[in-house]
C-alpha cells in the first residue's frame, strides 16, 4: 500500500506537470512600419509594472527598421538579481548613458544606451524623476532620510554622470516630482502627496552652482509635471485634491518666477514640442464613480488653448487610460501609451502629425516613460 501511495504521488506530479529549469524572461519582437528616413533612431519605453510585482520592464523601438522589442532589459542583463525592479518611474538619456529611475527598487539604473547593457547603479531611496545639466544628472526623491519622523522633505540629488557617484544633495519640498532645468536652475514641482490634508503648493528653485534652494514659487496644491517651452516658460500641472479641487495647468514665467497664466483644463501629463503642448487627462469623479478622459492642445507661443486635437480619427476611444506621451521632434508623430487596467500589458499608439493612427503595438505593464535615441 505504501508503494501504491508512492506511485500515486509520482503519477500525480507527472500527470500534472513539474517545474521547469528556470530561465531568464525572454524578449519578444513585433514588427511595425519601418521609417528608413527617420532622423531619430528610436526610443526606449519604460513600463512601470504594478507595485510589488517587480515587473518594471524596458522596451525599445527601432524606428528606422520598424522593430519593437519588448522586455529588452532581462534579455540583455540576465545576471542582474530580480532584473530592472519594481515600478520604473522615469528614463533620461545623457551622453552614451540611459538613466532609469526605478522607484520602489530605490535605484537609478545606468545602461549603455546603445546596447541596453547595465553599466552601473546609483542607490537613491524612493527616487522619482531625472534631468541632466552640464555633465550631471539630477534626481528627485520623495524622502531625504529614512527612519526620521521629523524629516518629511524630499531631496534633489546630483550625480556625476561619469563616475556615477552622488556629488551633492539638497532638501526641497515634500514628495518632489518632476524637474525642469533652465539657465543653471532646477525647478522642481513639490506634491506633498504623503500628507493629503496639507499638500505642498510650490515649485522649489535650486541654484545649481551653489546647490541651494533660492526660492519657492507658489503655484497650486499637489504639483506633478513641469515642462519648459522654448520661450523660457514652465508648464506645471496640479493634480488637485481628486475631490473638490480639480486638476489644472499653470504657466510660470522664469524671468519673474511667478505664475503668469492658468489653464482651466485638467492635465495628467503633457509633452511640449516646439510651439505645441500635447495634453491628456483622466479625472475620476467620486460623485459619479466615472473616469473621464480628455485630450487637448495648447499653443505655447500664443499661450492659448487650441480647438485642434492630436488624435483626429476617433481612435482615442480605444485608449482606456492614457499614461505616457512623447512627440517626435522631426516627424511630429505623437506617441501615446495606454496603461489599460494596470494589470494587463499596455499599448503604444503612434499618431501622425494629422492625428491619424499609424500603428499600435503591445508593450509591457503600464507603459509610461519614453526617451528618444538620436
Q: Taking the alpha carbons of 336, 341, 347, 352 in that order, is the dihedral positive or negative?
A: negative
Site for other proteins in 219-238 (CB under 8 A): 224
The interface with other proteins within residues 121-180 (CB under 8 A) comprises 121, 123, 125-126, 143, 146-152, 174
Q: Do 140 and 154 meet the contact criterion of CB atoms below 8 Å apart?
A: yes
The yes or no reply on residue 354 touching other proteins (CB under 8 A) is no
3, 14, 286, 317: which one contacts other proteins (CB under 8 A)? 286
Cell matching residue 109: 539604473
Spell out, one character per residue from 180 to 209, where the chain touches other proteins: x when CB under 8 A holds, - when not.
Answer: ------------xxxxxxx-----------
Q: How many whole angstroms from its chain centre is CA 306?
A: 25
Query: How near is the Cβ of 60 to other proteins at its closest, in Å?
Result: 16
Nearer to other proteins, 36 or 149 (CB): 149
Mask for 18-47, x = binds other proteins (CB under 8 A): xxxxxxxxx---------------------
Q: How far is the CB of 325 from other proteins (least distance, A)?
A: 14
Question: Could you tell me the smallest distance in angstroms from the CB atom of residue 192 to other proteins?
Answer: 8
Minimum Å gap between C-beta 129 and other proteins is: 13
How big is the site for other proteins, counted in residues (CB under 8 A)?
88
Beta carbon nearer to other proteins, 116 or 364:
364
The burial of 358, by beta-carbon neighbours within 10 Å (0-12 exposed, 13-18 middle, 19 or more buried), is given as middle
Exposure of 318 in the CB half-sphere (CA atoms within 13 A): 16
Residue 354's CB: how many other CB atoms inside 10 A? 10
Q: Cβ of residue 363: shortest distance to other proteins, in angstroms?
A: 11
Amino acid at each position: 500500500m505504501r508503494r501504491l501511495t508512492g506511485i500515486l504521488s509520482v503519477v500525480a506530479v507527472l500527470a500534472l506537470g513539474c517545474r521547469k529549469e528556470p530561465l531568464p524572461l525572454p524578449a519578444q519582437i513585433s514588427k511595425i512600419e519601418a521609417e528608413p528616413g527617420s532622423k531619430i533612431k528610436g526610443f526606449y519605453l519604460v513600463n512601470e509594472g504594478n507595485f510589488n510585482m517587480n515587473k518594471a520592464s524596458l522596451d525599445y523601438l527601432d524606428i528606422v527598421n520598424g522593430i519593437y522589442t519588448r522586455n529588452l532589459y532581462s534579455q540583455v542583463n540576465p545576471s542582474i538579481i530580480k532584473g530592472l525592479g519594481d515600478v520604473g518611474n522615469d528614463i533620461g538619456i545623457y551622453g552614451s548613458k540611459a538613466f532609469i529611475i526605478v522607484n520602489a527598487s530605490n535605484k537609478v539604473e545606468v545602461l549603455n544606451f546603445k546596447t541596453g547593457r547595465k553599466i552601473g547603479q546609483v542607490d537613491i531611496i524612493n527616487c522619482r524623476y531625472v534631468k541632466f545639466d552640464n555633465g550631471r544628472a539630477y534626481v528627485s526623491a520623495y524622502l531625504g532620510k529614512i527612519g526620521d519622523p521629523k524629516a518629511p522633505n524630499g531631496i534633489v540629488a546630483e550625480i556625476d554622470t561619469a563616475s556615477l557617484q552622488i556629488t551633492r544633495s539638497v532638501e526641497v519640498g515634500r514628495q518632489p516630482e518632476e524637474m525642469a532645468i533652465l539657465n543653471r536652475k532646477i525647478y522642481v514641482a513639490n506634491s506633498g502627496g504623503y500628507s493629503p490634508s496639507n499638500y505642498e503648493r510650490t515649485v522649489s528653485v535650486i541654484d545649481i552652482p551653489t546647490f541651494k534652494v533660492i526660492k519657492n514659487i507658489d503655484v497650486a496644491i499637489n504639483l506633478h509635471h513641469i515642462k519648459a517651452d522654448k520661450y523660457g516658460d514652465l508648464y506645471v500641472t496640479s493634480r488637485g485634491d481628486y475631490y473638490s479641487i480639480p486638476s489644472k495647468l499653470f504657466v510660470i514665467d522664469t524671468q519673474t518666477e511667478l505664475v503668469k497664466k492658468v489653464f482651466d483644463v485638467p492635465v495628467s501629463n503633457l509633452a511640449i514640442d516646439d510651439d505645441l503642448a500635447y495634453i491628456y487627462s483622466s479625472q475620476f469623479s467620486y460623485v459619479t464613480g466615472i473616469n473621464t478622459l480628455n485630450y487637448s492642445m495648447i499653443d505655447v507661443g500664443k499661450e492659448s488653448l487650441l480647438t485642434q486635437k492630436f488624435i483626429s480619427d476617433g481612435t482615442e476611444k480605444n485608449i482606456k487610460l492614457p499614461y505616457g506621451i512623447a512627440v517626435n521632434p522631426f516627424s511630429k508623430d505623437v506617441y501615446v501609451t495606454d496603461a489599460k487596467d494596470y494589470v494587463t500589458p499596455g499599448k503604444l499608439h503612434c499618431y501622425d502629425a494629422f492625428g491619424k493612427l499609424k500603428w499600435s503595438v503591445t508593450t509591457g505593464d503600464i507603459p509610461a516613460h519614453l526617451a528618444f535615441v538620436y
